[in-house]
Chains A and B, each alone.
Chain A
């Protein structure tokens, strides 16, 4: 497919992300809104643009604070941006900020926006906790009671068990299994050994550590100062372990299935806080404002399958669809940024893409999607090492793919992430 010069393209102009910080550590005091506001301010500052140019802010967030569910809008207000900018918060689980970028792109292509900031954020340190319906009902009764004795009676009627808050489940609503259990199941189905998983986890850490050492995140990560934290601030992702070894990873016990499981805390992505954002513009507007865009968003695909069948294999379906829409094949890709929920899921995705059986059963074609060059996948590490703030991961993948494509002078890159509910998204980027 030849780029049509008359076509209005959406281009990524610049972006920034926070350091990704292990949940419940140095930056646990920051809410999702705090994270989003900080990164939004940095994105605007780094783009060196008049914030009045922003038409809207779209933010992916999986577990927004109960008190401020529209994180995007609150972040606009908290960051001191012009108050007339609308904010939308959306949720497509772990692909939320891929969706934010796609929503931005669609608005630009539809002509309803010229400049959009696509954000993603998550504070897993401040997961909203909920209480049982029985407790909420009982509390209503207390509120409505006029006399003190009626209030006490209403309070006394609350069963003790209802006082415990319900933590947001990492378990799937539709299958009742935790995500880790799904990963274990997936590893068995796609024949991914514990060793293969630990190998990939080690690769993730080593590549991320090397990238940190070489300063390859320097133009992406903004410093973060958390209230009450070390005044020196946080300047890099805190989950990366440069010194981890295969032996250390092998010594970890399976978390989800003690008897037969292979998924451990070492080969899964950790609970993380963080935010990431991109400035996406209509190409002519970007040029008129004097920007040299990084990449254009060429095509995308969103897929879903039956969660009872397979929860995390979505990227193996989304990737061929996005490639097909771009008129490309696996071989055309200089770079792949694939979300690492679990090493088991990453390797299973490789196996599925390279499998003719999978192609036959799921894609209705006899040829496999194509060989995956592992050296082009997550060249600077992935979510296992860097961390995984659900809503922010997609924007991180896009930002790093865009910057890396420019740095390495590549032409096409692909970004993909699986998401809870057996969904997935893939986006193809091209140099402009």
Chain B
């Protein structure tokens, strides 16, 4: 064991002729550098040796990984720690970085690629930071996204370096800053071409040694903001903003406290407070849920990157509606030449204008260099007759949900497509096998369920029917990743995974309406639970007519469990189709968006007593999770992790609960089954628990990792 430890060497140290020590971090067995206890130990030793080296004239810390500087702490290691262990680990890391900060010689972090979390905290302990001007270079403290706060001095050093408001912007949101903005913020001394990073780092060491490097000076505005007089107002405003977003996530509040206390009491006390607050978060339910989501996401990305198929060089999209335009937009963003087909010329024109508007907005928001705008827009071209489709590697149809129409488009494509091309159908409810039933080559037909609005929604649900070839699946999985989406692959079946789960959930909201709940009470209960919008608002956005259609498809397929309440069909009228008709559960063209009180009249015998908020939440959340479990029982889902990712990225299930399966595990499966059994008796048999839940209870195993 000991011999193994000594051969594990994450740091290389070399002193050049000028006396500069180059400390290169290259953690073995990983694509990226992460900071574990062992890596910190190696740093501690190396710093002690540098401090004792009388010839050393400066220290440059850099990465041996081409992929980046340091991605952050070792999350797997953190997940196993108790609060006490986490406190000690934090204090130790702080002490090591203090030693780095207090070295007598100039220190520079030379950063290329991501420099995140503990990586940035390390860089902050250097006297100066030099970054490459590469697009991959970014700095950030993403700890809050995992339910944590920085634990190695980040809450203390960052505000002191770049000012309170800029630091809070980074620490409280976890968002990272790209290379170009780093110098402006004062985080980096300069941004230089990657090839010059080492040479410029050496020059910077020299300037620091000679005292020729100006220390970062805060702007007048920052100085005012940081003054003791203004500080309470800035902190209060930040706290108010956090409260507006809800109190499900404790980490940003603790981060704010750490910053506030540190500035008030000084660095030493600030570090102690940071370590204490950090350790209070490690291992909490939210932290573990977010780590679960992060790890499931990372594993899904890795699995998707192994997908084998054709690399799409040209894409065809059928249908110039919102979906088609959205798909063309993300394809252009990914640099894929795209032909957009529609029989209606004006639909193409509107779609092209939507693509144009998207990239124009990107430029205005500073997210796209202006010279790339016309190149992105130029990638999308319209066609009325399918000219260019024979050359497309993948064609995605995104016309409205009509089986005959989709079959006709498939047949049309088959008559011109080359043998290795793939046909993807973007449907939210129709069976892929049914669409492919008349196909001559059903093996190259696959489902690709995008979510609206496509550029914003991060999920693509890939659906395979029994005859789909692995290569076809691989091709669209790789395509979806290039389009920047998370991918889950599910088996064909009515409503696949996401549509049947959201369908069951919305259906239960209708039952709650019929059982006396008010529209705004249902929505408020679910946003309080952590969903971004309530089910009634969601139904208005989707369209009541669309919801009605899907509800009946699901009812027909799954029977009693997904039967809508009596009166449901009365809800949908030509004038009440949701937001698009300005009237749904809410009235959109009246100030304050009041509830349309006439919706209650659709349900006869509506009881006078309304269900409580807790009852609303329990019925809706358990319906959501139980339907997900049904999908797992039936083999639609390959794993609970896929179900968690699909629910979070596609349906807005709260990430801090880890997804439906993770959530059920946390509640405890025996409790879940008991609650479902109880609801099945008191409310309706639709609540009968899915088989997998009873099986796992019997086996004493959880859903996730079980």
Chain A interface residues toward B at CB < 8 A? 33-34, 37-38, 41-42, 44-46, 48-50, 77-81, 222-223, 225, 227-233, 235
Closest to B357 in A: A227
B319-378, CB < 8 A from A: 335-337, 339, 345-350, 352-353, 356, 374-375, 377-378
CB <8 Å contact, A80 and B391:
no
CB <8 Å contact, A227 and B383:
no
Q: Report the Cα distance A77→B376, complex, angstroms.
A: 10
CB <8 Å contact, B345 and A232:
yes
> Besides the contacts A231-B346, A231-B353, what 15 more A-B pairs have beta carbons closer than 8 Å?
A33-B374, A38-B381, A41-B337, A41-B381, A41-B388, A45-B339, A45-B381, A46-B388, A80-B378, A223-B348, A225-B352, A231-B350, A232-B346, A233-B349, A233-B382
CB <8 Å contact, A42 and B381:
yes
CB <8 Å contact, B388 and A223:
no
CB <8 Å contact, A223 and B391:
no
CB <8 Å contact, B387 and A78:
no
CB <8 Å contact, B352 and A80:
no
Of the candidates B337, B339, B382, B390, the one whose C-beta lies within 8 Å of that of A223 is: B382
Q: Report the Cα distance A16→B88, complex, angstroms.
A: 72
| Interface presence of B688 (CB below 8 A) | no
Using Cβ atoms and an 8 Å threshold, which residues of chain A touch B383? 45, 223
CB <8 Å contact, A233 and B353:
no
CB <8 Å contact, A225 and B391:
no
Of the candidates B347, B353, B382, the one whose C-beta lies within 8 Å of that of A227 is: B353
Using Cβ atoms and an 8 Å threshold, which residues of chain B touch A49? 391
Q: A232-B349, A233-B382 are in contact. Are A79 and B391 (CB under 8 A)?
A: no
B559-605, CB < 8 A from A: none
- Closest-CB distance, A72 to chain B (whole angstroms): 14
Of the candidates B337, B346, B353, B390, the one whose C-beta lies within 8 Å of that of A80 is: B337
Q: A46-B388, A223-B384 are in contact. Are A230 and B375 (CB under 8 A)?
A: no
Closest to B353 in A: A231
| Interface presence of B379 (CB below 8 A) | yes
Q: A225-B382, A227-B353, A231-B349 are in contact. Are A78 and B374 (CB under 8 A)?
A: yes
| Most chain B beta carbons < 10 A, residue from A33, A228, A233 | A233
Q: Report the Cα distance A34→B390, complex, angstroms.
A: 24
B614-663, CB < 8 A from A: none
CB <8 Å contact, B337 and A233:
no
Q: Report the Cα distance A35→B335, complex, angstroms.
A: 20
- Closest-CB distance, B206 to chain A (whole angstroms): 30
| Most chain B beta carbons < 10 A, residue from A38, A48, A49 | A48
| Most chain B beta carbons < 10 A, residue from A33, A37, A81, A235 | A37
Q: Report the Cα distance A78→B379, complex, angstroms.
A: 7
Question: What are 7 of the A-B contact pairs (CB < 8 Å)?
Answer: A46-B387, A49-B391, A77-B375, A80-B379, A225-B348, A225-B352, A229-B349
- Closest-CB distance, B338 to chain A (whole angstroms): 8
Closest to B375 in A: A78
- Closest-CB distance, B465 to chain A (whole angstroms): 29
Using Cβ atoms and an 8 Å threshold, which residues of chain B touch A230? 346, 349
Closest 10 CB pairs of A and B: A231-B349, A45-B388, A80-B337, A78-B378, A80-B379, A232-B346, A231-B346, A225-B349, A233-B345, A231-B350
CB <8 Å contact, B345 and A235:
yes
Using Cβ atoms and an 8 Å threshold, which residues of chain A touch B384? 223
Closest to B392 in A: A45
- Closest-CB distance, A119 to chain B (whole angstroms): 15
- Closest-CB distance, B342 to chain A (whole angstroms): 11
Q: Report the Cα distance A99→B381, complex, angstroms.
A: 28
Q: Report the Cα distance A80→B349, complex, angstroms.
A: 20
Q: A34-B374, A223-B382, A232-B346 are in contact. Are A45 and B356 (CB under 8 A)?
A: no
CB <8 Å contact, B345 and A48:
no
- Closest-CB distance, B412 to chain A (whole angstroms): 15
CB <8 Å contact, B374 and A223:
no
CB <8 Å contact, B391 and A45:
yes
Using Cβ atoms and an 8 Å threshold, which residues of chain A touch B378? 34, 37-38, 41, 78-80
Q: Give how many A-B residue pairs fall within 8 Å (CB-CB).
A: 78
Number of interface residues of B (CB under 8 A): 26
Q: Report the Cα distance A45→B390, complex, angstroms.
A: 9
Closest to A79 in B: B378
Contact flags B382-408 to A (C-beta < 8 A → 1, else 0): 111001101100000000000000000
Using Cβ atoms and an 8 Å threshold, which residues of chain B touch A235? 345
Using Cβ atoms and an 8 Å threshold, which residues of chain B touch A41? 337, 378, 381, 388
Q: Report the Cα distance A225→B337, complex, angstroms.
A: 17
Using Cβ atoms and an 8 Å threshold, which residues of chain A touch B374? 33-34, 78
Closest to A81 in B: B337
CB <8 Å contact, A233 and B348:
yes
Q: Report the Cα distance A34→B339, complex, angstroms.
A: 16
Q: Report the Cα distance A222→B339, complex, angstroms.
A: 13
Using Cβ atoms and an 8 Å threshold, which residues of chain A touch B387? 42, 45-46, 222
Q: Report the Cα distance A29→B337, complex, angstroms.
A: 22
Closest to A46 in B: B387
- Closest-CB distance, B364 to chain A (whole angstroms): 15
Closest to A34 in B: B374
Using Cβ atoms and an 8 Å threshold, which residues of chain B touch A227? 352-353, 356, 377
Q: Report the Cα distance A430→B349, complex, angstroms.
A: 39
Q: Report the Cα distance A38→B375, complex, angstroms.
A: 11
- Closest-CB distance, A63 to chain B (whole angstroms): 19
Closest to A222 in B: B387
- Closest-CB distance, A49 to chain B (whole angstroms): 7
Using Cβ atoms and an 8 Å threshold, which residues of chain B touch A232? 345-346, 349
Using Cβ atoms and an 8 Å threshold, which residues of chain A touch B391? 45, 48-50
Using Cβ atoms and an 8 Å threshold, which residues of chain A touch B353? 225, 227-228, 231
Contact flags B264-294 to A (C-beta < 8 A → 1, else 0): 0000000000000000000000000000000
- Closest-CB distance, B375 to chain A (whole angstroms): 5
| Most chain A beta carbons < 10 A, residue from B335, B345, B346 | B345
- Closest-CB distance, B395 to chain A (whole angstroms): 13
CB <8 Å contact, B335 and A80:
yes
Using Cβ atoms and an 8 Å threshold, which residues of chain A touch B390? 48
- Closest-CB distance, A401 to chain B (whole angstroms): 22
Closest to B338 in A: A80
Q: Report the Cα distance A326→B371, complex, angstroms.
A: 47
Q: Report the Cα distance A33→B377, complex, angstroms.
A: 13
- Closest-CB distance, A291 to chain B (whole angstroms): 13
Using Cβ atoms and an 8 Å threshold, which residues of chain B touch A50? 391
- Closest-CB distance, A59 to chain B (whole angstroms): 15
Using Cβ atoms and an 8 Å threshold, which residues of chain A touch B339? 45
Using Cβ atoms and an 8 Å threshold, which residues of chain B touch A77? 375
Using Cβ atoms and an 8 Å threshold, which residues of chain A touch B381? 38, 41-42, 45
Q: Report the Cα distance A48→B417, complex, angstroms.
A: 11
- Closest-CB distance, A290 to chain B (whole angstroms): 12
Using Cβ atoms and an 8 Å threshold, which residues of chain A touch B336? 80
Q: Report the Cα distance A229→B391, complex, angstroms.
A: 29
Q: Report the Cα distance A235→B345, complex, angstroms.
A: 9
CB <8 Å contact, B337 and A79:
yes
Closest to B390 in A: A48
Q: Report the Cα distance A80→B388, complex, angstroms.
A: 14
- Closest-CB distance, A320 to chain B (whole angstroms): 39
Using Cβ atoms and an 8 Å threshold, which residues of chain B touch A233? 345-346, 348-349, 382
Q: Report the Cα distance A233→B349, complex, angstroms.
A: 6
Q: Report the Cα distance A78→B388, complex, angstroms.
A: 17
Q: A37-B378, A79-B337, A225-B382 are in contact. Are A48 and B388 (CB under 8 A)?
A: yes
Using Cβ atoms and an 8 Å threshold, which residues of chain A touch B350? 231
- Closest-CB distance, A399 to chain B (whole angstroms): 15
Using Cβ atoms and an 8 Å threshold, which residues of chain B touch A231? 345-350, 352-353
- Closest-CB distance, B700 to chain A (whole angstroms): 56
Closest to B381 in A: A41
CB <8 Å contact, A223 and B335:
no
Using Cβ atoms and an 8 Å threshold, which residues of chain A touch B388? 41-42, 44-46, 48
Q: Report the Cα distance A225→B378, complex, angstroms.
A: 12
Closest to A75 in B: B378
- Closest-CB distance, A222 to chain B (whole angstroms): 8
Q: Report the Cα distance A81→B388, complex, angstroms.
A: 13
